[in-house]
Chains A and B, each alone.
Chain A
Amino acid sequence: MSETVLRTQGLWRTYQQGDLQVHALRGVDLTIERGEFTVLAGPSGSGKSTLLNQLGALDTPTKGEVFVGDQRLAGMSKRDLADLRRDRIGFVFQAYNLVPVLTAFENAELICLLQGMPADERKRRVDELMDKVGLAGLGARFPRELSGGQQQRVAIVRALAPRPALVLADEPTANLDSETATALVSQMRALNEELGTTFVFSSHDAHVIDQAKRLVRLKDGQIEAEA
């Protein structure tokens, strides 16, 4: 039995650059089912980031529709979109994910805190995930006292702690060496298996792409191939 967590329909995103129109997405139809571990691949400029921004309700399409669960994003207010991101989607960005003045633990519990979750529950969830990703005992450190890989793992804990339906990550490993990158992705994969969290992320890295359960290749703003 499958459950659709995300769906796009004829999605177009056109940027206006002076007189030039850049079609970053040209009619993307994509459906993400619960429990997927999907990688978006494709050359630079193929539209991976643009698509992830659309999926994450961070940007509005020029044409077409995005549905998160059965919620249609078009027409929602900015504040409702913010609440939807907070409550349904986890985000991990390429780098500089964390708030520098908050400790690893405080960063990790941030979304739960914004959701109004009680402190003991936040602590329980964050501690458990920190353990799982190998950050036990590092909660009191500030981001600048952590390595790049550790920072990305804090970002993953932050994204997962609220138990979102979906985690979106735009090149989460791009700033890491390939060994650290591979380790990070296998951790994400383990969380995907264990908790059933749906992951959609983009990558250039062949080692990362290898670990995908589903691979979606983009080219010139269109889905080129699926594997």
Chain B
Amino acid sequence: MTLALRMALRNVRRHARRSLITAITIAGCVFMMLLTIGVSEGSYREVVNTAARSGSGHVVVREPGADLVEPAVLAHSEQAMAAVAAVDGHAVPRLKRLVLAQGSGGAATVVALGVDPEAERHTSVLPEATTQGSWFEKDGRVASSVIGGVFARQNGLSLGDRLVLSASRDGQVNTVLTRVTGIFEVGSDDVDANLVVVERPVLGELVGAEGGMDEIAVVLDDIDEVDAVARKLSAALPESEVLTWAQAVPALGDFVTLDRTGANLSFFVLFGLVSLAILNAVLMSVFERTREFGVLLAVGTRPRLLFTVVLLESAMLALISTTLGAVVAWAVVAWLGDVGIDVYAISGLERMDVGGYQLAGALYPYLPAERTFRSLALVPTLAVLAALYPAWSATRIPPVEAMRHV
């Protein structure tokens, strides 16, 4: 072990009480930081999954430039379905068109979703959110439609009512008669007021896209895989457009980015304050050792050794306490991630929205590796930066004056 390391280590141990106080301060802040990250990432995951399962998946594959106003059937759909299977994503093919929906109580333009009911069952929130009626039970003569609760109330529709969908096909108005067999409540007004779901062949026939799909919603088990999967799919499907949820739902993507940035900024302020505490502790310890450092310089120690010792002391303190704080936080977050936090029971609120999406119920905090490590790296970095000045001042001690200082 080098001399500098040995001296630094023993100095940290020797001033156990001061080291402990500094370490607990740092560890406490690290704990708070990771807990905050864990809870907010957990809430993002909940709403992103809700958004993905009620919208276009974590990643969506579609025709370049296609949207609701100018829809286009996906050209290489078989190749795309295979590519999604190859990256372990659940592929959910859909047609998605604007249609006029007309019931006995009124008419409105809605988004009609043409689905394969079985593909939706495990990947979409819609089947389980269908609280009245059921999710596409086969019963014969008339096509089924499953509609949002808000839309149903606004148009006075209930189970069994007729709903006529119209759209243009080859320049002419085409219609299809459906019967409402299910009503869902996803919790997002956007979805609940504007979405009508039918089986894909029904919508295909209405709009002239038989057998086709406008998009493949790709649902993933791990949302931290989103970017990697999107990259792989873009590479595999150069003629299609591949978007992540954050690109497909920019409002939510921007919300998450903004929220993360705000939190990171507050961590920076928090650790700026911690740095001041470190600066103070290290400066004090250098001042206390004026005579010791003076003697060392007098007998011919190069100033650089003292500089290294002081920096090492601070870095060690930061590393030990960061590790301590991180281990405790990791354990707590893992436990909370297991049992979940019932945000409604804790807050007493009736409804909590994150980025425009309602939190369904419990929240399961977790620590995504990349953000966690990046935030943790901040702590020792700042600690070393804070120790630069005291370390430098240790090298500036004039030995002769230090010797008069007892």
Task: List residues of A whose CB falls within 8 A of some B CB.
Answer: 53, 56, 58-59, 78-79, 82-87, 89-91, 93, 95-102, 106, 110-111, 113-114, 158-159, 170
Contacts and interface: CB of A to CB of B under 8 A. Distances in A.
Contact of A100 (B6, B14, B297, B301): B14
B295 interface: yes
B400 A82 contact: no
Given A101-B10, A110-B299, A111-B300, A53 B3 contact: no
Contacts of A158: 299
Contact of A99 (B292, B399, B403, B406): B292
Given A59-B400, A82-B303, A101-B7, A95 B406 contact: yes
Contacts of A99: 7, 292, 295-296
Chain B, interface residues (CB within 8 Å), range: 20 to 34
B300 A83 contact: yes
B299 A91 contact: yes
Interface in B285-315: 291-292, 295-303, 305
10 contacts: A58-B298, A82-B297, A85-B298, A85-B299, A86-B301, A90-B299, A101-B7, A102-B7, A102-B10, A106-B6
Contacts of A53: 400
Contacts of A59: 400
B307 to A, nearest CB: 13
B403 A93 contact: yes
Contacts of B302: 79, 82-83, 114
Contacts of B11: 101
Given A82-B297, A89-B300, A96-B406, 15 more contacts: A78-B303, A79-B302, A82-B302, A84-B300, A85-B300, A86-B299, A86-B300, A91-B298, A93-B295, A93-B298, A98-B295, A100-B292, A101-B10, A110-B3, A159-B299
Contact of A113 (B3, B14, B400): B3
Q: Is the interface of B mostly helix, strand, loop or mixed?
A: helix
Contacts of B297: 82
Contacts of B301: 82, 86, 114
Interface in B372-406: 399-400, 403, 406
Contact of A58 (B3, B14, B399): B399
Nearest to B399: A58
Nearest to A168: B298
A87 B300 contact: yes
Contact of A101 (B14, B299, B400, B403): B14
A56 B296 CA distance: 14
A40 to B, nearest CB: 16
A58 B297 CA distance: 9
